[in-house]
């Protein structure tokens, strides 16, 4: 972590806040899917009932759950690495997994014709893209 007086501190702070944001977002979402699997599966089964995805809801949910948990865990590990060593490589991978998870969520919302839900994902996706840009190094 650079000194608060360093010119690098604002960049480091943006990196850390992006990693924290993505860790919170995906750890909470992934853990919710694990804890309330039946509730999520029931809701998603209805959500996708009139789409070509209706027959693959359970595998999609499992894949998305694993992707979200991975994005959250890697982002959290990236935050720890940023704080302890200033390294950005792990946080970069967390941001990449997060962006992929948002694209998967966006695809599902569009397939379900939930355009408002898809639109609500855009700011989150943009945070993941900002994270990708600021983590390069």
Average pLDDT on 68-82 reads 98
Rounded distance, CA 54 to CA 68, Å? 21
Q: What is the pLDDT of residue 28?
A: 98
Residue 133 has pLDDT above 90, yes or no: yes
- pLDDT per position as a tens digit, 15-51: 999 999 999 999 999 999 999 999 999 999 999 998 9
Residue 56 has pLDDT above 80, yes or no: yes
Global confidence as pTM: 0.92
Q: Using an 8 Å Cβ cutoff, are 134 and 11 in contact?
A: yes
* Domain parsing of the chain, residue ranges: 9-135
Q: Using an 8 Å Cβ cutoff, are 118 and 110 in contact?
A: yes
Among candidates 80, 119, 101, 133, which has minimal Cα distance to 28?
A: 101
Q: What is the pLDDT of residue 135?
A: 94
- pLDDT per position as a tens digit, 94-132: 999 999 999 999 999 999 999 999 999 999 999 999 999
Rounded distance, CA 74 to CA 54, Å? 30
Average pLDDT on 60-67 reads 97
Q: How large a percentage of the chain has pLDDT more than 90?
A: 88
Residue 137 has pLDDT above 70, yes or no: no
């Amino acid at each position: 972590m650079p000194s608060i007086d360093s010119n690098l501190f604002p960049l480091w702070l943006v990196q850390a806040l992006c990693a924290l944001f993505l860790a919170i977002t995906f750890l909470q979402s992934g853990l919710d899917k694990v804890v309330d699997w039946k509730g999520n599966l029931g809701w998603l089964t209805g959500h996708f009932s009139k789409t070509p995805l209706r027959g693959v809801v359970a595998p999609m949910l499992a894949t998305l759950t694993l992707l979200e948990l991975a994005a959250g865990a890697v982002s959290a590990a990236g935050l720890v690495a940023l704080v302890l060593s200033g390294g950005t490589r792990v946080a970069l991978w967390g941001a990449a997994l997060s962006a992929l998870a948002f694209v998967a969520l966006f695809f599902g919302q569009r397939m379900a014709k939930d355009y408002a839900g898809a639109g609500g994902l855009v700011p989150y996706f943009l945070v993941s893209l900002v994270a990708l840009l600021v983590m390069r190094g």
